[in-house]
A and B are shown apart, each in its own frame.
Chain A
Amino acid sequence: EADIYQTPRYLVIGTGKKITLECSQTMGHDKMYWYQQDPGMELHLIHYSYGVNSTEKGDLSSESTVSRIRTEHFPLTLESARPSHTSQYLCASSATGLNTEAFFGQGTRLTVV
Chain B
Amino acid sequence: AQSVTQLGSHVSVSEGALVLLRCNYSSSVPPYLFWYVQYPNQGLQLLLKYTSAATLVKGINGFEAEFKKSETSFHLTKPSAHMSDAAEYFCAAGGSARQLTFGSGTQLTVLP
Partner pick for B43 among A42, A58, A104, CB 8 A cutoff: A104
Cα A23 to Cα B34 with chains together (Å)? 23
Cα A92 to Cα B101 with chains together (Å)? 13
Distance (Å) between the CB of A109 and the closest chain B CB?
Answer: 7
- Which residue of chain B has the shortest Cβ distance to A88 in the bound complex? B41
Interface assignment of B49: CB less than 8 Å from any CB of chain A: yes
Interfacial residues of chain B within 66-112, with CB under 8 A of chain A in the complex: 88, 90, 92, 94-100, 102-105, 107
Distance (Å) between the CB of A74 and the closest chain B CB?
Answer: 14
Cα A92 to Cα B43 with chains together (Å)? 9
Q: Is the CB of A104 within 8 A of B45?
A: yes
- Which residue of chain A has the shortest Cβ distance to B36 in the bound complex? A104
B97: chain A residues within 8 A (beta carbon): 98
Q: How many positions in chain B have a CB within 8 Å of any CB in the partner chain? A: 26
B43: chain A residues within 8 A (beta carbon): 6, 90, 92, 104-107
Q: Is the CB of A98 within 8 A of B105?
A: no
Question: Please, what's the 1-or-0 string for A73-94, where 1 marks a CB less than 8 Å from any CB in chain B?
Answer: 0000000000000001010101
Q: Is the CB of A40 within 8 A of B42?
A: no
Cα A90 to Cα B100 with chains together (Å)? 14
Q: Is the CB of A42 within 8 A of B103?
A: yes
Q: Is the CB of A42 within 8 A of B51?
A: no
- Which residue of chain A has the shortest Cβ distance to B9 in the bound complex? A40
Q: Is the CB of B95 within 8 A of A98?
A: yes
Q: Is the CB of B100 within 8 A of A102?
A: yes
Q: Is the CB of B41 within 8 A of A109?
A: yes
Partner pick for B107 among A40, A94, A100, A103, CB 8 A cutoff: A40
Residues of B within 8 A of A (CB): 32, 34, 36, 41-46, 49, 51, 88, 90, 92, 94-100, 102-105, 107
- Please list 11 pairs of residues, one from A and one from B, whose beta carbons are closer than 8 Å in the complex, sorted by A's number: A42-B102, A42-B105, A43-B105, A48-B99, A58-B99, A98-B32, A99-B32, A104-B44, A104-B45, A107-B41, A107-B42
